[in-house]
Structure 1
Amino acid sequence: MNVNKVMLLGRLTRDPEVKYSTSGNAFCAWGMAINRYYNSENGERQQEVCFVDCKAFGRQAEIVGQYVAKGNPLFVEGRLSFYQYETENGERRNKLSVIAERIQLMGQNMFASLTDDSVLRSAPPENMEHPDEEAKEAQPQQASPETPTEGEVTDAEGLLSDGTADDIPF
């Protein structure tokens, strides 16, 4: 059994670039910075930053392009994609990127409530991992997260801002 699953929570390092294939399918690319904090052997707090390139397709790509900008926090769940290419100088290069299968737009408070449009699931059509190639049409599906009613703010555990759970029957 093999597993190819990635979950990232970080901030965009550049504005997303939305483009369309010749058949009209949207794709979007952006960079993310993910910080990791740890204590060194001598007890000093250290920071390590990992920079990751990400891609989304279909309606999900359009949403990222429309609602997310450089510096915004974003949660991405997806898979690693590896490809090789040749530079103009004839050098072979390798590249790893994350293909987003699920995204969550995050407010400045990482536990802000989600709206129906903020979480989507989609898979890129075949051949869309590399935007230069022709693609088939993607069919994104709306995820069905349990969202609070309008005006309610919940934290990550589904508790209302007053500390009560919204699904308690009494």
Structure 2
Amino acid sequence: MSLNKAMIIGRLGGNPEIKTISAGNTVANFSVATSENWTKDGEKKERTEWHKIVVWGKMADICGKYLSKGSSVYIEGRIQTRSWEDKDGQKRYTTEINANRVQFLDTKKSQSDSTSTDDNFAPAVTSEPQFNAGEEIPF
């Protein structure tokens, strides 16, 4: 038995990059920062991890429309490492989260409105990836 599942909550480091690839499939790429805070020897410490996120199909279109730098999101998906050769012929690797669930956590109202309720949160968007596993991601 095995399990490959990642769940993170964080903020986008930049606007999603949206591309249309073969057969009209859409892919969104963006990074999400998660932070860890602790105190060591009376001094506050913080570490930020950056996660590469890949979203496919209709869910990618929705992310491109509604997410932007600083947006707070919940991402659920599987971790995947892939490789490619760069322009100099060097083999490169990257590890990404292929999202199958994206939930927007920012309220629909202004961030300064303190009367937010659960009804103000954007709905979750879920989808199965719409790509051929052998197809290369164009970036």
* Same topology, TM > 0.5: yes
CA contact (8 A) 1:14 1:71 kept: yes
Structure number with higher relative contact order (C-alpha < 8 Å, ≥ 6 residues apart): 2
Can you list the C-alpha shifts for 1:2-58, whole angstroms capped at 9, x where unaligned? 111101111100100111113111110001111111122x13111000011101011
Amino acid at match of 1:12: L
> Are residue 82 (structure 1) and residue 81 (structure 2) matched?
yes
Alignment-derived partner of residue 123 in structure 2:
118
Structure with higher Rg: it is 1
Tell me the alpha carbon deviations over residues 122-147 of structure 1, each in whole angstroms, 9 at most, x when there is no partner: 12132377323xxxxxxxxxxxxxxx
**Identical aligned residues as a percent:** 26
Letter in 1 for 2:125: L
Quote how far apart the aligned CAs of 1:121 are: 1.8
**Corresponding position of 1:158:** none
Partner residue in 2 for 1:29 = 29
TM-score by length of structure 2 reads: 0.83
Partner of 1:167: none
Give ranges in structure 2 of 5+ residues lacking alignment.
Answer: none
Number of aligned residue pairs: 130
CA contact (8 A) 2:59 2:125 kept: yes
**Matched residue, 1:18:** 18
Give the distance between the partners of 1:58 and 1:131, measured in 2 at CA. Answer: 13
Q: Name the CA shift for 1:117/1:26 in 2 (closer, same or farther; >3 Å).
A: farther
1 or 2, which has the higher strand percentage?
2
User: Residues 59 and 116 from structure 1, CA distance in 2 versus in 1: closer, same or farther, beyond 3 angstroms?
Assistant: farther
TM-score (norm 1): 0.69
Letter in 1 for 2:128: A
Matched, 1:127 2:133: yes
Alignment of 1:152-163 (within 5 A): none
Q: Is the 8 A contact 2:104 2:121 kept in 1?
A: no
